[in-house]
Structure formats: C-alpha cells, structure tokens
Structure 1
Amino acid sequence: MPKFARIATVAGGPTHWAVQQGNDLIDLGPAPPGDDTTAWFELLASGASASALARGQRCDPSRVEWHTPVRRPGKVICLGLNYSAHAAEGGNAAPEYPSFFMRGATSLIAHEAALVRPRVSDKLDFEAELAVVIGQRARHLTEANALQAVAGYACFNDGTLRDYQRRTAQWTIGKNFDGTGAFGPWLVSAADLPAGASGLKIESRLNGRVMQSDNTDHMVVSVAQALVLLSEVLTLEPGDVIAMGTPAGVGYARTPPVWMQPGDRIEIEIDGIGLLSNPVVQEKN
C-alpha cells in the first residue's frame, strides 16, 4: 500500500510530498503554495497518479529531512489509559469516560528528529500510540459515520515527563515539553487499513529492546467511539490529530523504572503504517 510523507530534499529546504512505493521513496515535487492541507488529503485519498510517479525522483530516505505528516495541527487531542493493561500497570482501572488531554504543536517533532530530554527532569518516558488524522470538518458524529471523518493514520510517540505529569491532577504540563512528541513519518490512507485501524500490532523498542507490544484491538475506546465523544464537544477540523493511548510496558511502570537517556534511540512501529524512529538528546543549556 502507498505511504505518503512530507519531506525536504535538503535540510531546511521547501516541503516536498513523497510516496513510498515498494522499497523506493519517490519525491513527487514541491508542495503547493502554503502546503495546502486539502490538496494533501486529496493526494492521500486518490494516490499518486502514474504520471506523477513517472516524473518523480527516487531519493535516499537516509538523506532527506522528514517533516511531520501534518504541517501544524490545529488540535492534538490525546487519550490516556486507553489500554486496560496500561491502566492496570499504573494501579488504575480504565476510566468509564476517556481521560482526554491536549498537546501543543510546539511539542511535536518528525521522524529522525531529536527527542529532547529537558534540563529540568531525567524522567522522560515513551508511549507508542496510533495517531488518527482528521480529514474533514465534523461535529456530532455517530459511530455509523465517524470513520468518514478520518483521512489517515500515523505513528505517534507521546513522550512524557512523568514527574511533571504528576505535579498536578491535569496531565498537560508533563505532556507538552518542546520536542517530546514524535509524529510520523508516514500518513497512510484510512481506505488502505482496516476500519478504525483495528487489529494492528503496535510496538515500541528502546535501543532495539521491545518495551511495549500489543494490538489496537485492545483499545478500550475505539477510534469511532473517540470521535463521537469528541465531536459532542468540539468541531473536528482537517489536520487535527487524535492520539489513541498507549499499551502496557512504559518505562515508569518497570522495576527499576526505565527512562530515555541521551544517546538512546526510540522506535514506534505499527503494522501497515510504518516505523517512527528518533534519537534522544539532552537539552542544551
């Protein structure tokens, strides 16, 4: 299945759109002026044309600069405790109503960008998550039509400073440090995956060691259910991102706890969607 990405062919250069075909990364050329979200989702839905592929230039994935699948999401809404086993490892029951919280766009980084451990804390944890990217404006969805609002899916790492998360009953402060939320690299059309991205293996690996391994079938609240609940409250807009919660195996729940360290590499992989990989660095003074 095709996987689409936003890249720059030179560091700091203009955004190009690209597609993975087999083992090849094909540069489809510069994004339209403004990197138009509507045009981007139209490409995702229709796929790259034969003529566009023929004109495209094959490029080396190790030499491009990756961008996040959405340029700057208007809203990034996350679900907490959405896998029962993860709730249990923290001594909690899965909530009857999802624990929603929000991330700011300044916390997001792309594939292969540095995940930053801030100077004020050494308790940086990983969270493998499925990201849902909204493709159309929607309010008051039902379970019957909710998935029609989804453009596609991506990998997400909801990196968390656990000590800051627990300083307050609200989780926002521990979830919004700059450069801690990795997103991408691929955006895969909803039409190319099972409905609601169900039945997909989701895994995190720290320096090659499997830390989390589960299946999206085990989410307490499904993608459709989450969109219904959210659209009761607010208008979902194209480019909004919903992060669907993380499985068991996170660092804080281990004995002793496992925190990401400068020099580490964290990988998030979801079957059919791809691999998100980031080195970990220390924030500069």
Structure 2
Amino acid sequence: MQFASFQIEGRNTFGAVAGDGVVDLGRRLAPRFRSLLEVLRASAIDEVKANATGVRADYPLSAVTLLPPVVEPEKIICVGVNYANRNAEYRDGSELPKYPSLFIRVPTSFVGHDVPIVRPRASEQFDYEGEIVLVIGREGRHIARENALGHIAGLTLCNEGSVRDWLRHGKFNVTQGKNFDASGSIGPFMVTSDEIDWTKPFSLTTRVNAEVRQDDTTENLIFTFADLITYISTFTTLRPGDMIVSGTPTGAGARFDPPIWLKPGDVVEVEVPGIGLLRNAVSDEA
C-alpha cells in the first residue's frame, strides 16, 4: 500500500493512496492516529492498512498538497558518496570507503511532491541528487545485517537538493549546504515493504527538464540498505519514522564541465519503478 501525508483545508493529515485519490485516515482514525509517524510508532501499519482497504478516496490527489510522507521524524540521516561510480567521479584515486559518510538533514529542508524546491538567495550553485529513502518501521539498536531489512516500513524517494559552495564553508562538515529551507524534497508516497521485491536491484533515474542526468541501479551501492542500517544502529537507536537517505549516483550538476546549476523554472524528476516518481519545480527564494 502507498501512504501519503498531505495538507487539505488548512490541516495536516495522512492517508492511503487509492487510484488517483487519497483516503483521509487522519480524519477517520482520530484521535488515535493523526499522522503516519504515530502509526509507525504504534507498529500499527497492518491495522491501518485493513482500515483503508476497499475504501473510496475522500479527495483527488490533485486537490491536496503533498508533504513528505513522514512529517517531523526524529532523524533524517543522509549518506554521501554511496555508489561506486560516484566514488570514481571524484577522480582522487581513492579506494572505496571502509565506512559510510553520514550527515544529518532537518525536516524543514524538505518539501513534498509537486511543491517547489527553493534556490536560496545565498548562492546560485543549487544542485539535485536523486536518492532512495528507507523509512524505519521497527525500533532497533545493534541491528544484525541479516535482520536489517525487517526494520524497514517502506521506501520513498528524495531529491537531496544541495547548495554546493556552502558544502565547503567548514573544514569538516557539509551541514550548511544540505539544510537550506525547502531545498530538497521527499515523496511522493511511502510504499510499504510488503509491496517491494527485495530480490531485485532498484533502477534510479533523475531527469532535469526531461533530460536524463542520473541513471544507475542499487547493484552499484557501496553500502547496501542492510549495511547502512547495521552501521547506523551501532551508534544510534533507529526509531519508527526515521529516514535514511541512501546516496545518489553519478551525474549531479556539479560534475559537468562547466557545472549545470538548477535555476527557477527547471523541473527535477526522480523515478524508481515500483516506488514512484517525485517531481518538483525550482523557484527562487522570495
């Protein structure tokens, strides 16, 4: 099943996608569940799916404003340079890393599907990064690799919008360039784990104005989804609703010669068959 978080009539709610519409589960299941995060924390996905099965949509998707599928998660942990081709793209002769490179993004740096992402006043070096996102459904610490996928509630997509020159303001961190308000997007929906074929690699494509810029598969991940969960859970407890943004392939705008930065009016699409298509136009900061 696909779950969405959205805004309608001035309120935030969540629901199950039904064709071209959405069932307003936040209204139907209140006060027990008002958000997908509350459902995940209660380990109630199966119960909520039963409540949504066969129910007619309350609203067409065209009438709602989509939010990131999980609103206000405790943690959004992002992975840098996690495709083998991307490591080679740096042309520094380095071997594949022994451990993942990680950083944190805050929820306010992301918008939902079909909501404009914002190029900030501070820089014109605004770039895209298409990625697959793991949504944690079961709490865990020191999670064994063989059990790791069982902690995933579902998958969604991300355009991990980055402000390139701000990534280099500090000596050791990229936090500033990764956390401008509304600079990235997550969505459109969370596809539950039971609908995902975990035996096959995922093909990820990013397009800018219909031109393919990134095209790779998770066969080329340096650290698999299971590797990431095992490593991250060594130092922090993964909680329901936490999201792991698993890395982007080669082909970001910064790697062209000269670089190709996003500008207002551009449209970025991130697509993975079986998970969906995340689309956002680019606007300038007001």
* Distance of 2:14 and 2:146 partners within structure 1: 35
C-alpha displacement of 1:221: 0.2
Aligned residue number for residue 171 of structure 1: 174
Secondary structure of the residue aligned to 1:232 is: helix
CA contact (8 A) 2:18 2:57 kept: no
Q: Please give the residue correspondences for 1:248-263 in structure 2 after superposition, counting only pairs within 5 Å.
A: 248-263=250-265
- Encode CA deviations 1:192-223: one digit per residue, 9 max, x unaligned: 2133x851110111111111011112111001
Secondary structure of the residue aligned to 2:227 is: helix
Amino acid corresponding to residue 192 of structure 2 in structure 1: S
Aligned residue number for residue 270 of structure 2: 268
Aligned residue number for residue 25 of structure 1: 21
Amino acid corresponding to residue 150 of structure 2 in structure 1: Q
* Distance of 1:54 and 1:146 partners within structure 2: 31
* Distance of 1:79 and 1:38 partners within structure 2: 26
Aligned residue number for residue 48 of structure 1: 49
- Encode CA deviations 1:126-156: one digit per residue, 9 max, x unaligned: 0000100011110001111111111110001
* Distance of 1:62 and 1:19 partners within structure 2: 12
Amino acid corresponding to residue 244 of structure 1 in structure 2: S
* Distance of 2:36 and 2:8 partners within structure 1: 19
Aligned residue number for residue 185 of structure 1: 188
Aligned residue number for residue 82 of structure 2: 82
Aligned-pair identity (%): 36
Aligned residue number for residue 37 of structure 2: 37
CA contact (8 A) 1:128 1:158 kept: yes
C-alpha displacement of 1:173: 1.4
- Encode CA deviations 1:22-66: one digit per residue, 9 max, x unaligned: xx32324435334262425756446733x7444433533222111
Q: Please give the residue correspondences for 1:111-130 in structure 2 after superposition, counting only pairs within 5 Å.
A: 111-130=113-132
| Distance verdict in 2 for CA 1:40–1:237, change over 3 Å | closer
Which residue, 201, 205, 223 being the options, matches 2:207? Answer: 205
* Distance of 2:251 and 2:40 partners within structure 1: 35
Amino acid corresponding to residue 228 of structure 1 in structure 2: T
CA contact (8 A) 2:253 2:261 kept: yes
Aligned residue number for residue 3 of structure 1: 2
CA contact (8 A) 2:155 2:193 kept: yes
* Distance of 1:131 and 1:40 partners within structure 2: 16
- Encode CA deviations 1:91-126: one digit per residue, 9 max, x unaligned: 244322111111111111111111010001000110
C-alpha displacement of 1:271: 1.3
| Distance verdict in 2 for CA 1:57–1:189, change over 3 Å | closer
C-alpha displacement of 1:178: 0.7
C-alpha displacement of 1:225: 0.6
CA RMSD of aligned residues (A): 2.0
Aligned residue number for residue 155 of structure 1: 157
Amino acid corresponding to residue 125 of structure 2 in structure 1: K
TM-score by length of 1: 0.91
CA contact (8 A) 2:40 2:240 kept: no
Secondary structure of the residue aligned to 2:88 is: helix
Secondary structure of the residue aligned to 2:206 is: strand
Secondary structure of the residue aligned to 2:254 is: helix
